[in-house]
């Protein structure tokens, strides 16, 4: 491939930039010259799932792909908050209250539609020209402004306290880690995201994705 897109199933514990770097290296070796490769929206290191990788001349259209709707499946842990909104952060016990399934389903309805959301400080959003996560890791004050996002639907897939699993169809720019935290606030229990998988981007699904191993990329 010289120009076009690759659909990749990102593994856990790898950054999106790491995925791009590995694909760039392999394609450049195959072509005998440096190949331009980019991604169309980061996935957190702990997250897995669908990434659209742009190659060659298609890199100029990266912004178009990044604005597409997405579908995620997320496992949320109730009773605690995480400083990062995921398993990598420092955990704080909030409540041992066990909501009923009806209470959870009612809480989820509050987040469907056009909502205001404050992205996590541990994110790639730029604040005064610097990445928010970089400022946070350096212990510098970070204030990420709220923004409007769209959540088309949230489906409760499974619930066995303290874990619940949801499927969320969202617009561009929606943070599932923040959605998990806000669900915890609505329930009065605290919450953070323990697993996150992106299963669809617009018309593209995981059924079409390749793993790095199938591309011959092992490290």
- Residue 153, strand partner residues: 169
β-pairing verdict for 48-55 and 191-201: parallel
- Record the pTM: 0.91
For residue 74, give the nearest of 17, 148, 154 by alpha carbon.
154
Q: Cα(108)–Cα(175) distance, rounded to whole angstroms?
A: 15
pLDDT for res 214: 87
Q: Can you give the pLDDT of all 219 residues of the chain as single tens digits?
A: 579 999 999 999 999 999 999 999 999 988 889 999 999 988 999 999 999 999 999 999 999 999 999 999 999 999 999 988 999 889 999 999 999 999 999 999 999 999 999 887 666 677 767 776 676 676 777 777 789 999 999 999 999 999 999 999 999 999 999 999 999 999 999 999 999 999 999 999 999 999 999 887 766
173 within some domain:
yes
82, 159: one domain:
yes
56, 121: one domain:
no
116, 161: one domain:
yes
Measured in whole angstroms, the distance separating CA 206 from the mean position of its chain's CA atoms is 15
For residue 187, give the nearest of 79, 85, 58, 89 by alpha carbon.
79
93 within some domain:
yes
121 within some domain:
yes
80 within some domain:
yes
181 within some domain:
yes
217 within some domain:
no
21, 117: one domain:
no
Cβ neighbours for 29, distance < 8 A, ≥ 6 positions apart: none
Q: Cα(83)–Cα(89) distance, rounded to whole angstroms?
A: 5
63, 87: one domain:
no
pLDDT for res 136: 65
84, 139: one domain:
yes
Tokens linked to 188? 């009065």
Indicate which residue of 9, 44, 86, 182 is catalytic: 44
pLDDT for res 145: 78
Q: Is 29 exposed, middle or buried (0-12, 13-18, 19+ CB in 10 A)?
A: exposed
124, 30: one domain:
no
User: What total number of domains does the chain contain?
Assistant: 2
Range of 26's domain?
4-67+203-208
170 within some domain:
yes
44 is catalytic: yes
Question: What CATH number did the domain enclosing 197 receive?
Answer: 3.30.2350.10
pLDDT for res 41: 85
CA distances from 97 to 79, 80, 100, 188, 207 (A): 7, 11, 10, 8, 38
């Amino acid at each position: 491939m010289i120009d076009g897109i690759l659909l990749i199933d990102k593994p856990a514990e790898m950054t999106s930039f790491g995925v791009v770097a590995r694909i760039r290296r392999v394609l450049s070796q195959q072509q005998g010259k440096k190949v331009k490769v980019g991604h169309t929206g980061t996935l957190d290191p702990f997250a897995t799932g669908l990434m659209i990788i742009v190659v060659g001349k298609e890199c100029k259209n990266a912004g178009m792909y990044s604005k597409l709707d997405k579908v995620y499946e997320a496992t949320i842990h109730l009773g605690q908050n995480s400083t990062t909104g995921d398993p990598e952060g420092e955990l704080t016990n909030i409540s041992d209250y066990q909501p009923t399934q009806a209470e959870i389903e009612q809480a989820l309805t509050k987040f469907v539609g056009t909502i205001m959301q404050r992205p996590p400080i541990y994110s790639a959003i730029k604040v005064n020209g610097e990445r928010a996560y970089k400022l946070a890791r350096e212990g510098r004050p970070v204030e990420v402004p709220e923004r409007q996002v769209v959540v088309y639907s949230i489906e409760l897939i499974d619930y066995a306290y303290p874990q619940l699993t949801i499927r969320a169809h969202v617009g561009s720019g929606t943070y599932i880690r923040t959605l998990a935290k806000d669900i915890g606030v609505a329930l009065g229990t605290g919450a953070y995201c323990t697993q996150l998988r992106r299963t669809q981007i617009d018309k593209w699904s995981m059924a079409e994705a390749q793993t790095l191993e199938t591309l011959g990329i092992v490290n």
